[in-house]
């Protein structure tokens, strides 16, 4: 069932590098860069004065079709990353030479809304842990690619799948699931790193009698198909021992007749005790969502002075078009504002609840609403730089027409959305990279793009911001003012290449700072050209 390709030199190579491990700041061992998901690196060898000398060091072509959205991890001279369709690789960071590769076949029939993507590994000692598109959690030996354990999360024949990189928290990996379009019930799981045994589960849709169940006012027990997928990766505050995780849309997506009420805990941020999975607080961004505006975007954690008071904040650019700052100790709303053009809400009240414009629900004739179903920002990552105090948000501008239709009974492998949506030509589709001062929520700068910005951000101590786009460009900005300092066309923007939506990472190798990013189906490594 499994196939691995080994290179004899890989084990010796790993052992040689392990003699003198580099510091944490010189590696990239966590999906979001750190447990706070800032995607900030303090490395500054590559900076605003020399980034124009950045050049390609090597390119590894995977030869695997499909869209790549993974964040590579780097440790001891080796890059580890995943691809769509059950593939994974370990690559020599000096040369791009493959050390091992792994392939796990996926079932021939599976319910997917958005392709067999995978966003990466969690690194735990000698284990690399990831999820599979048929809703398993697996651990590989990082030295050889050998399978160490394989645990079933859920039954893929019931529409469950998984795409997000796990989050390592102490001796557990926290994972999410996908599949809200197939009439299932969402959850967040924790598994033992050592054995793969499940430690706890938090259901994102409460069962009858549990807190939050009163927000599902139906008579057919449709809460069992209520959605609330958890297909993003969360964050962790060690001081508070809280895991923060965003949840997705309720089901069915657009036809809400069978689910009156706010539909907790969909479209929410939940804070869970890391040891037990117990809910400590929640904040719902879009009550009774009818536009598929998942709230799975990364929760960025920062310590910020707001109005002269130090605050422990959680920041999120939500798919519904609003930017939020929450108190991460208790979930209380601090501030919020629209960061893209939106037409569905007049604003947010003092508690952060949207003041909904009447008549914005989908109709049989179709209702034009902004933002589009893809939202102001989808899964692609923002970044926060504590040196500039700015959060960098890849933004998508545009509207869509939302329809409602008759709702069939749930069936395996059939999408259960309740209708469709379509792009319209009456409003332009474009995008921007926007930088916000997180102390005030004020826009510091923006760079407009000709298509919705679906790239992911990396920011560094060299006062740089790196981000890709769907045209295939990978660009470096001055993080303070947004000036373009360097860019390269990776050749991935045409056909099915998908452009550069995957997040970049940075690390030190042999005393030189490197940048790595997946563009299309290839892994690029960059370093400075010697003057």
Query: What tokens were used for 29?
Result: 């061992």
Q: Given the residues 237, 253, 262, 292, select the one marked as catalytic.
A: 292
Nearest in space to 314 (alpha carbons), one of 280, 340, 266: 280
Q: How would you label 140-179 residue by residue, b for 16+ Cβ within 10 Å and e otherwise? A: bebbbbeebbebebbebebbbbbbbbbbbbeebbbbbbbb
Domain positions in the chain: 3-528
**CATH numeric code, 3-528:** 2.140.10.10
What is the pTM for the complete model shown?
Answer: 0.94
Q: Coil, helix or strand for 24?
A: helix
Q: Catalytic residue at 262?
A: no
Residue 220's pLDDT is what? 67
H or E segment at 16? Answer: helix 9-17
Residue 421's pLDDT is what? 54
Distances (CA, A) of 298 to 35, 36, 265, 343, 439: 11, 9, 17, 24, 19
CA torsion angle 56 57 59 60 (round to 10): -160
Residue 496's pLDDT is what? 59
Nearest in space to 164 (alpha carbons), one of 392, 381, 3, 331: 381
CA torsion angle 278 284 285 286 (round to 10): 130
Strand ranges inside 72-221, DSSP E: 73-75, 78-83, 87-92, 98-103, 122-124, 127-131, 136-141, 147-152, 167-169, 172-176, 187-192, 198-203
DSSP assignment letter at 65: -
Going residue by residue through the chain, which has 531 residues, state the pLDDT in tens, using 9 for 90 and above.
Answer: 334 433 333 333 332 333 333 467 899 999 999 999 999 999 999 999 999 999 999 999 999 999 999 999 999 999 999 999 899 999 999 999 999 999 999 888 887 888 889 999 999 999 999 999 999 999 999 999 999 999 999 999 999 999 999 999 999 999 999 988 888 999 999 999 999 999 999 999 999 999 999 999 876 677 888 899 999 999 999 999 999 999 999 988 888 888 899 999 999 999 999 999 999 999 999 999 999 999 999 999 999 999 999 999 999 999 999 999 999 999 999 999 999 999 999 999 999 999 999 999 999 888 999 999 999 999 999 999 999 999 999 999 999 999 888 777 777 667 776 666 555 555 789 999 999 999 999 999 999 999 999 999 999 999 999 999 999 999 999 999 999 999 999 999 865 567 999 999 999 999 999 999 999 999 999 999 988
Q: What angle do CA 495, 497, 502 make, to 5 degrees?
A: 150
Residue 5's pLDDT is what? 39
Nearest in space to 517 (alpha carbons), one of 531, 528, 493, 501: 501
Contact 397, 431 (CB under 8 A): yes
Report how far residue 303's alpha carbon sits from residue 317's, in angstroms, rounded to the nearest whole number: 17
Measured in degrees and rounded to the nearest 5, phi and psi for residue 12 equal -65, -40
H or E segment at 15? Answer: helix 9-17
């Amino acid at each position: 069932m499994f196939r691995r390709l080994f290179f004899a030199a890989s084990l010796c190579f790993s052992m040689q590098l392990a003699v003198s491990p580099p510091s944490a700041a010189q590696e990239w061992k966590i999906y979001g860069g750190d447990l706070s998901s800032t995607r900030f690196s303090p490395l500054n060898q590559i900076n605003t004065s020399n980034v124009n000398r950045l050049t390609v060091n090597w390119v590894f072509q995977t030869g695997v079709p499909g869209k790549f959205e993974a964040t590579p991890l780097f440790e001891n001279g080796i890059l580890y990353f995943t691809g769509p369709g059950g593939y994974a690789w370990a690559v020599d960071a000096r040369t791009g030479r493959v050390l091992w590769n792994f392939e796990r076949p996926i079932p021939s029939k599976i319910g997917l809304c958005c392709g067999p993507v995978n966003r990466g590994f969690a690194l735990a000692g000698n284990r690399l842990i990831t999820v599979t598109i048929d809703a398993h959690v697996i651990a590989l030996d990082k030295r050889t690619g050998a399978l160490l354990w394989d645990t079933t999360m859920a039954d893929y024949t019931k529409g469950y799948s998984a795409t997000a990189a796990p989050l390592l928290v102490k001796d557990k990996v926290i994972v999410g699931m996908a599949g809200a379009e197939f009439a299932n019930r969402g959850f967040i799981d924790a598994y033992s790193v050592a054995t793969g045994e499940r430690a706890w589960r938090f259901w994102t849709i409460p069962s009858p009698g549990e807190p939050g169940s009163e927000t599902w006012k139906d008579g057919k027990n449709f809460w069992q198909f209520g959605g609330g997928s958890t297909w993003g990766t969360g964050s962790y505050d060690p001081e508070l021992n809280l895991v923060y995780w965003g949840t997705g849309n309720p089901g069915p997506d657009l036809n809400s007749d069978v689910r009156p009420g706010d539909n907790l805990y969909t479209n929410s941020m939940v804070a869970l005790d890391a040891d037990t999975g117990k809910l400590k607080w929640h904040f719902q961004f879009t009550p009774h969502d009818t536009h598929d505006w998942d709230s799975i975007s990364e929760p960025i954690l920062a310590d910020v002075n707001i109005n002269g008071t130090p605050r422990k904040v959680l920041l999120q650019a939500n798919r519904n078009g609003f930017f939020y700052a929450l108190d991460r100790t208790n979930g209380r709303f601090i501030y919020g504002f629209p960061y893209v053009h939106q037409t569905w809400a007049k604003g947010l009240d003092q508690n952060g609840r949207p003041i909904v414009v009447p008549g914005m629900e989908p109709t049989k004739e179709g209702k034009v609403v902004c933002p589009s179903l893809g939202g102001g920002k989808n899964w692609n990552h923002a970044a926060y730089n504590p040196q500039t105090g700015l959060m960098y948000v890849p933004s998508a501008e545009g509207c869509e027409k939302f329809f409602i239709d008759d709702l069939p009974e749930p069936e395996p492998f059939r999408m259960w959305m309740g209708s469709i949506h379509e792009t319209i030509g009456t409003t332009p589709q474009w995008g921007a990279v926007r930088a916000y001062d997180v102390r005030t929520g004020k826009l510091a700068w923006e760079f407009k793009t000709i298509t919705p910005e679906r790239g992911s951000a990396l920011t560094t101590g060299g006062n740089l911001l790196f981000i890709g786009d769907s045209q295939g460009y990978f660009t470096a900005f001055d993080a303070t003012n947004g000036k373009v300092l360097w860019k390269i066309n990776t050749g991935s923007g045409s056909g099915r290449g998908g452009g550069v939506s995957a997040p970049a990472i940075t690390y030190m190798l042999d005393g030189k700072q490197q940048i790595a990013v997946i563009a299309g189906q290839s892994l690029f490594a960059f370093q400075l050209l010697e003057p």
